[in-house]
Structure 1
Amino acid sequence: GRAPQGDAERLDMPDWLWPRLLAGLKEKAAPVAAALQQRAPVHLRVNLGKAGRARAMASLRDDGVECVAHPAADTALEVVSGQRRIRQSGAYLSGMVELQDAASQAVVAGLPLRDGMAVLDYCAGGGGKALAMAARARIVLHAHDAAPERMRDLPGRAERAGVPVVCLDGEALAAHAPFDLVLCDVPCSGSGAWRRAPDGKWRLSAARLDELAGIQAAILDRAAGLVAPAGSLAYVTCSLLEEENSGRIAAFLKEHPGWVCTSQRTWTPLDRTDGFFAALLTREGAAI
Structure 2
Amino acid sequence: MRPGGRAQAAIELLDEIIVAARDGGAAADTLIARYFKTRRYAGSKDRRAIRDLVYRAIRRAGDPPAHGRAALIGLAREDSELAAAFDGSPHTPAPITDDEVSTRPGVLPRWLAKRIDRSEHAALLERAPLDIRVNSRKTDRDAVAAMLPDAVPTPHVPNGLRLPEGSAVEATQPWLDGLIEIQDEGSQLIALAARARPGMTVLDLCAGAGGKTLALADAMGGEGRLIASDTNRARLSRLPPRAQRVDAGFIESRLLDPGREANVLGDLEEQCDVVLVDAPCSGTGTWRRNPEARWRLTPDRLAKLTETQSGLLDIAAQLVKPGGALVYAVCSLIEEEGAGQIAAFLARSIGFTPERDIFTPGRYLGPGKLLSPAHDGTDGFFVARLRRA
**Which of 166, 190, 210 is the matching residue for 2:303?**
210
**Which of 128, 131, 136 is the matching residue for 2:211?**
128
Which aligned pairs between 1:81-100 and structure 2 lie closer than 5 A?
83-84=167-168, 86-100=169-183
Q: TM-score, normalised by structure 2?
A: 0.66
Which aligned pairs between 1:66-145 and structure 2 lie closer than 5 A?
66-80=150-164, 83-84=167-168, 86-138=169-221, 139-145=224-230
CA distance in 2, matches of 1:43, 1:147: 25
Unaligned runs of 5+ residues in structure 1 are 1-6, 23-28
**Which of 100, 108, 112 is the matching residue for 1:13?**
108
Cα contact 1:113–1:133 (8 A) shared by 2:
yes
Higher relative contact order (CA 8 A, sep 6+): 1
- Is 1:245 the counterpart of 2:338? The answer is yes
Q: In percent, how many aligned pairs have the same letter?
A: 40
Which aligned pairs between 1:16-27 and structure 2 lie closer than 5 A?
16-22=111-117
Which aligned pairs between 1:175-190 and structure 2 lie closer than 5 A?
175-177=267-269, 178-190=271-283
Q: TM-score, normalised by structure 1?
A: 0.88
CA shift for structure 1 position 33 = 1.0
CA distance in 1, matches of 2:289, 2:166: 19
Unaligned runs of 5+ residues in structure 2 are 1-61, 64-103, 257-262, 357-367
Name the SS of the counterpart of 1:110 in structure 2.
helix
AA matched with 2:164: V
Higher percent of residues as strand: 1
AA matched with 1:57: A
- Is 1:157 the counterpart of 2:242? The answer is yes
Deviates more, 1:33-42 or 1:132-141: 132-141
Name the SS of the counterpart of 2:151 in structure 1.
strand
- Is 1:258 the counterpart of 2:351? The answer is yes
CA distance in 2, matches of 1:172, 1:116: 22
CA shift for structure 1 position 149 = 2.4
CA distance in 1, matches of 2:199, 2:105: 51
Greater C-alpha Rg: 2
CA shift for structure 1 position 114 = 2.2
Q: Residues 116 and 260 of structure 1: is their aligned pair in 2 closer, same or farther, counting only changes over 3 Å?
A: same
CA shift for structure 1 position 16 = 1.1
CA distance in 1, matches of 2:301, 2:268: 33
Question: Which residue is equivalent to 1:281?
Answer: 386
**RMSD between superposed Cα atoms in Å:** 1.8
